[in-house]
Amino acid sequence: MPRDKKNTTCKDELPELLTAAEAAEFLRLSPITLSHYRYQGRGPIYRKHGWRVYYTREDLVAWSDGQRWASTGEPIRS
């Protein structure tokens, strides 16, 4: 039975990488805001390949999950 290539993940394969612009769109942020978060160290985990910055969807979702608040002064801790 042939294996579907999309469903098999090799440990050596990179996940789908999003550019900074794509990541900003995914998070519904402006690219400038995402850049500021990256500079300040408070944004999602990212990867650098040379000068280029990339994100994985999993890292964007994980970061977004950590940004939940119950009220203005009370972040939700997982």
Domain boundaries, the chain: 17-66
Instruction: Assign domain 17-66 to its CATH architecture.
Output: Orthogonal Bundle (1.10)
Residue 1 has pLDDT above 50, yes or no: no
pLDDT in tens, 15-65: 899 999 999 999 999 999 999 999 999 999 999 999 999 999 999 999 999
Q: Torsion-angle region of residue 62: left (phi > 0), alpha (psi -120 to 50) or beta?
A: alpha
pTM of the model: 0.77
Tally of CB atoms within 10 A around 44: 21
Q: How many residues does the chain have?
A: 78
- Cβ neighbours for 72, distance < 8 A, ≥ 6 positions apart: none
